[in-house]
Structure 1
């Protein structure tokens, strides 16, 4: 029997590589897209570190979200597509369109190619950023029913790009999907084992804390989730009949301050305790610094914001059971220490 083929976009990414790992372990054939041939070795290295020894069910395809080239060929014969790839956010963008346009165009490019090649369902990796931003005086946990308020002030362009690309995907399915199915997964802060020193930057804060590069922490609360559980939720969203047309918040349901994250590391890795931050940054300092340093703007936009989330839907509808935030945070640090990423 021929194995079902799943296309996973952005194969060298942190979430994508764990999805590929689990799909291969579960007996699927996987074709993953990479933007350049140089990523080929990184993909193999990460899968090897994740325990894969047989690559006969894996193929790599060169395709870029900013170009039509090769998407048609990439989708040929695929039953499912998991669209994880996202244009890298520019820190020094000239205008919002530079971030938003590529995200929206990329999603539509993937959906069109999937539809035209008879794919059954696409699972889109969206983000918590498409849910929480722009809600003032929030007092109840965010759920899948919530959408970022694009009309609110000070919404970071990255959150806008995530929101508008997910909205564009749902609109495409409704107006020109021709029966193509869609589900979305919206992860909060993703932690868990990194599989290579060339890892994604989403959890660089753990590395910087362990290296003593962060002296004081902003007052930011966040949900966290393990990348292995984000991967398993994507596969449940791909295979479950109940998931069609639904979005799922990937969160443990816990909310931690950055200081609580530092405390978890302090307890788990006493040999790094002296390097870990113990002080908090006043909000006005974060906001003033962001005025001069664009890379701090996203952080400044979420200081002291309410960040409770619910994972009831994924648990009830799909039977998803994530591990704890603490487990995920410790796994991140342990893998970075093991791979000698932490200097």
Structure 2
């Protein structure tokens, strides 16, 4: 029998790619969803497993309730806890966001600690738990932690949830040798597996669709979801990963650089990608009316500088070029109908998509 791994948040963007990565490498996967009756959101995973003969089943649990977690982890040798709230706009209930992230992580870990067969848990955190709230600019590593007192709600939620995970595992009795590994990704881009985009796709969607008149002075340290999925598998497999955090993110990419790349690649296909930068004061003014822009205001002008050296050297991990990630992200948004192709180029795009399939 193949090693069975529990993956939380099956219908999420990252979790979906992680499930495919595990199935491709011979793992049996049990994946959590909130509603077993909602089959549409997981149909692409069911189809993939059926086509490849992989072993995949689903269990209904909720991060806000204790019910079902013991049954979910039963029979699993390893657990990947990926599910976590990721708001598209500033949350109305900041404390609720933080509570869900922290309590959900602890529910998963408690269930794992009580299941003797579970030897390792990999928790998906974020560089949001590393890079924010510092007064000085520096290259950040796994030794750094976000300063929660000077950070927005989402960054606080990731930091406090990860700290709670380390504290919980550190307090377990010596005879319960549960291993914890944490993966800290940057801004996750890459192709969709279904027509349901992630919040992280929003900048690319807005650029391709011309939904912004110009570019805010924001940027991110980007990681391709396919590379991130590989990092999660390696975090399960490498013995030396136990008890460590792993940053998975590349160089900082300004939105203006993202726009130029997309303009070069998609301009010939009829997409009018804005490349003009806008002053911070205009972004702050526009954010009053655009809730999606409000998330960018606290990070205007900030640079995310992180080192992925530990993941590269200790996990044997690698990243593909960011231009490839951007191109594949944009192609995917068009292919899945998230962004409509320009009318005069639609027939050509359609032929290209059919050729890819």
Distance 2:3 2:244 in 1: 23
RMSD: 1.9
Residue in 2 that maps onto 1:148:
146
Structure 2 SS opposite 1:199:
coil
Distance 2:199 2:304 in 1: 21
Residue in 1 that maps onto 2:170:
174
Whether contact under 8 Å (2:85, 2:100) holds in the other structure is yes
Residue in 2 that maps onto 1:303:
300
Residue in 2 that maps onto 1:116:
114
Residues 260/93 of structure 1: CA separation in 2 closer, same or farther (3 Å cut): closer
Q: Residue 115 of structure 1: CA displacement?
A: 1.1
Residue in 1 that maps onto 2:23:
24
Q: Residue 294 of structure 1: CA displacement?
A: 4.9
Residues 55/281 of structure 1: CA separation in 2 closer, same or farther (3 Å cut): farther
Residue in 2 that maps onto 1:342:
339
Residues 199/295 of structure 1: CA separation in 2 closer, same or farther (3 Å cut): closer
Residues 230/47 of structure 1: CA separation in 2 closer, same or farther (3 Å cut): farther
Residue in 2 that maps onto 1:74:
72
Distance 2:216 2:104 in 1: 33
The C-alpha deviation readout for 1:134-177, integer Å capped at 9, x for no partner, is 01230x3221111101122xx11011000000000000010136
Residue 319 of structure 1, aligned match among 302, 316, 321: 316
Where in structure 2 are there 5+ consecutive unaligned residues? 341-357
Structure 1 SS opposite 2:148:
coil
The C-alpha deviation readout for 1:83-109, integer Å capped at 9, x for no partner, is 000134374644431111111000000
Between 93-102 and 108-117, the greater mean CA deviation after superposition: 93-102
Instruction: Spell out the pairing of 1:35-54 with structure 2 (5 A cutoff).
Output: 35-46=34-45, 48=47, 53-54=51-52
Structure 2 SS opposite 1:22:
helix
- The aligned length equals 337
1:281 is aligned to 2:278: yes
1:260 is aligned to 2:246: no
Between 284-293 and 55-64, the greater mean CA deviation after superposition: 284-293
Using structure 1 for the length normalisation, give the TM-score: 0.93
Q: Residue 221 of structure 1: CA displacement?
A: 2.3
Whether contact under 8 Å (1:221, 1:256) holds in the other structure is yes
Residue in 2 that maps onto 1:271:
268
Residue 199 of structure 1, aligned match among 188, 197, 200: 197
Q: Residue 267 of structure 1: CA displacement?
A: 1.5
Residue in 1 that maps onto 2:97:
99
Using structure 2 for the length normalisation, give the TM-score: 0.89
Structure 1 SS opposite 2:171:
helix
Residue 160 of structure 1, aligned match among 153, 156, 161: 156
Q: Residue 321 of structure 1: CA displacement?
A: 1.0
Residue in 1 that maps onto 2:234:
236
